Amino acid sequence: MQEFWLYFEIGLRHVLDINAYDHVLFLIGLTVPYSFNEWKKLFLLVSLFTIGHTLSLLLSIFNIVYIRENLIEFVIPITILIVALYNLFTAGKNSKTESISLIAIVTLFFGIIHGLGFSNYFKTILPGGATEKLLPLSEFALGIEAAQIIVVFVVLILSYIVQTIFRFSKRDWTLVMSAFIIGVVVPMIVQSPIWNR
């Protein structure tokens, strides 16, 4: 049971680490267009992200996939930028509530990208045997999922407060938060080590 909490906590900290806020930025971008009454869609998206994240870790720890770390560190803020730009162009449109199939596929793919960004570190903390790696990976995935639900819940509460007390429309809230995210990730892209080749 102690080992479960160890990997579960690593998953929690991976998302909630204030110094590695890219994951939180992605979740904010994913969440701001939605409200509490759309929690099922959000839960599906968050779970798809976790599945993608876990799948890429699985492929990486068994040395099936390897992608250079500086490339992944460059692509992660690009994924966040894409989500924020998508929100800017679709804010207030009905397509948000009609279908999430495109968003679901993109979220799964982005989960794979984000998981690859963590794979090198995760490999160093795992036990040696192949069967010994699966349980810690599952425990870590549960920690990721729990942390993501916490972030989504906080963003939904903040959205509710801003839209009811401060009378922001959902569209304006989405635009402001998406612009904020773009303002944070563009410098991350510009300062990426990939440009120093």
29-43, 90-104, 177-191: least confidently modelled range: 90-104
Average pLDDT for residues 24-31, to the nearest whole number?
95
Who wins on pLDDT, 121 or 43? Answer: 43
Average pLDDT for residues 40-45, to the nearest whole number?
92
Element (H, E) at 10: helix 2-16
Q: Is 43 exposed, middle or buried (0-12, 13-18, 19+ CB in 10 A)?
A: middle
Q: How far is CA 75 from CA 22, 81, 139, 150, 185, in A?
A: 11, 10, 26, 25, 11
User: Left if phi > 0, otherwise alpha if psi is -120 to 50, otherwise beta: which for 33?
Assistant: alpha
Tens-digit pLDDT profile for residues 149-195: 999 999 999 999 999 999 999 999 999 999 999 999 999 999 988 88
Task: Give the side-chain half-sphere CA count within 13 A for 123.
Answer: 17
- The number of folded domains in the chain is 1
Question: Given a cut of 80, is residue 93 above it in pLDDT?
Answer: no
pLDDT for 97? 46
List the one residue out of 13, 179, 12, 155 whose CA is nearest residue 83.
179
Range of the domain at 156: 2-196
pLDDT for 63? 85
Tens-digit pLDDT profile for residues 63-91: 888 888 889 989 999 999 999 999 999 98
